[in-house]
């Protein structure tokens, strides 16, 4: 039976969303919020910036007069694989990546080959960071990194709207500060 999760109102909109694909564990929050849809275009652009030059270089080498004859069959195999990778993985990643900042923890699912589900209780948060690379800025996106003392490393939620990310960091900072002032 799918669980319904109420979204926080950082962006001024309260909504509930049902998600059957997210991992679930008794007592742990279940991430239900999707990333911004522009994340698909951001990942697609990243993929194309890698795949297109590689395929172009392979084709250029294959066009050299003394090039080995096996380069064209390699190109014929790698071209549809590379284009398929570039076009399909962003949509799959968008379907898998989720996040949630509930009453007492931040949780996120990520990955496209290997799925990772991480939960960070507010009491464990040490730092909150936002990151916006050049491509992310072009698409109006940000990444929020929640750092703890865990050996597993930080939890990063990529592909958030930049205003939502800023509001989320401010809200989480206030919640964590309130917990520390309470002496917990």
pLDDT in tens, 6-58: 344 444 433 333 343 444 444 555 688 999 999 999 999 999 999 999 999 99
38 contacts 140 by C-beta, under 8 angstroms: yes
Q: How many domains is the chain built from?
A: 1
Count CA within 13 A, CB hemisphere, residue 26: 0
Give 182's pLDDT tier (boundaries 50, 70, 90): low
Instruction: Write down the pLDDT at residue 2.
Output: 40
- Do the domain assignments include residue 1? no
Q: What is the residue range of 84's domain? A: 40-92
Pick left, alpha or beta for residue 118 (phi over 0 → left; psi -120 to 50 → alpha; otherwise beta).
beta
Inside any domain, residue 67: yes
DSSP strands (E only) in the chain: 4-6, 16-18, 33-34, 98-101, 105-110, 116-121, 127-131, 141-147, 155-161
Domain assignment of residue 174, yes or no: no
Examine residue 75 and state whether it is found in any structural domain, yes or no. Answer: yes
pLDDT in tens, 122-181: 888 999 999 999 999 999 999 999 998 887 889 999 999 999 999 999 999 998 888 877
| Residue 151 within any structural domain of the chain | no
- Residue 167 lies inside a defined structural domain of this protein: no
pTM: 0.78
Q: CB–CB of 108/157 below 8 Å?
A: yes
What's the confidence (pLDDT) of residue 23? 44
| Residue 12 counted as domain residue | no
């Amino acid at each position: 039976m799918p669980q319904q999760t109420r979204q926080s109102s950082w962006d001024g909109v309260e909504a509930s969303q049902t998600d059957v694909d997210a991992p679930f564990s008794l007592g742990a929050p279940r991430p239900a919020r999707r990333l911004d849809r522009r994340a698909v275009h951001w990942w697609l652009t990243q993929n194309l910036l890698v795949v297109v030059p590689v395929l172009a270089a392979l084709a250029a080498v294959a066009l050299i007069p003394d090039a080995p004859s096996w380069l064209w069959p390699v190109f014929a195999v790698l071209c549809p694989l590379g284009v398929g990778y570039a076009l399909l993985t962003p949509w799959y990643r968008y379907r898998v990546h989720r996040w949630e900042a509930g009453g007492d923890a931040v949780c996120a699912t990520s990955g496209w080959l290997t799925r990772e589900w991480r939960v960070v209780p507010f009491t464990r948060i040490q730092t909150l960071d936002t990151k916006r690379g050049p491509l992310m800025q072009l698409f109006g996106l940000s990444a929020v990194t929640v750092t703890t003392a865990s050996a597993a490393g930080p939890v990063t939620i990529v592909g958030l709207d930049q205003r939502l990310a800023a509001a989320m960091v401010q809200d989480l900072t206030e919640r964590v500060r309130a917990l520390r002032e309470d002496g917990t």
